[in-house]
Amino acid sequence: MITPHVETLFCDDIRHEINGKLSYIGVYADALLVPAFPATLPKLCVSIKIVSPAHALLRSLTLRVLKDDATLQEIVVDEDQLASATDAFAELNDEERQRQHVQTLQYLLEFSPFHLETACTVQVRALVDGVELQGAGLRVDQMPSSPDLPS
């Protein structure tokens, strides 16, 4: 059985294609390395997916993007917005919901420019129906210096 969770993806850009697909450009695996601090990126994009069982309709959702303990952005999804986002699932009968397995809500965020004063971790937290869920974070650090090469 699927348990509610948050999927995060950090990248340089998210492009909307003509056919409805999304292209993620410059995806970061687990770390973003900069030559030195302070640093400024032209843009940092975050794709956030809230995944939950199709039979458990969401009643409340708050998303927070944090840089260490500082909140960069908070999104409180009100009941009407949540209801319209989950209407497709609400209209399904129990048997159809079981076949669907999951429902997903996706949010695409952009921070431009993205200022970095020091090493940090960017992370996403979601408060879903009173339960806090945490997505994978992005560690921001300085590139290791390369060893001196013999002359």
Model's pTM, two decimal places?
A: 0.86
Burial environment of residue 39 by CB neighbours within 10 A (0 to 12, 13 to 18, 19 or more): middle
Range from 70-84, 89-103, 133-147 carrying the lowest mean pLDDT? 89-103
Inter-residue contact 80 to 58 (CB < 8 Å): no
Q: How far apart are CA 53 and CA 5, in angstroms?
A: 10
Inter-residue contact 48 to 22 (CB < 8 Å): no
Walk me through the domains of the chain, giving residue ranges and CATH numbers: 5-142 (2.60.40)
Q: What is the percentage of the chain residues whose pLDDT exceeds 90?
A: 69
pLDDT at position 37, please?
A: 98
pLDDT tens, 25-70? 999 999 999 999 999 999 999 999 999 887 777 889 999 999 999 9
Q: What CA–CA distances, in Å, run from 66 to 44, 70, 106, 123? A: 13, 5, 18, 5
Torsion sign across C-alpha atoms 20, 23, 28, 33 = negative
Q: How far apart are CA 43 and CA 49, in angstroms?
A: 20
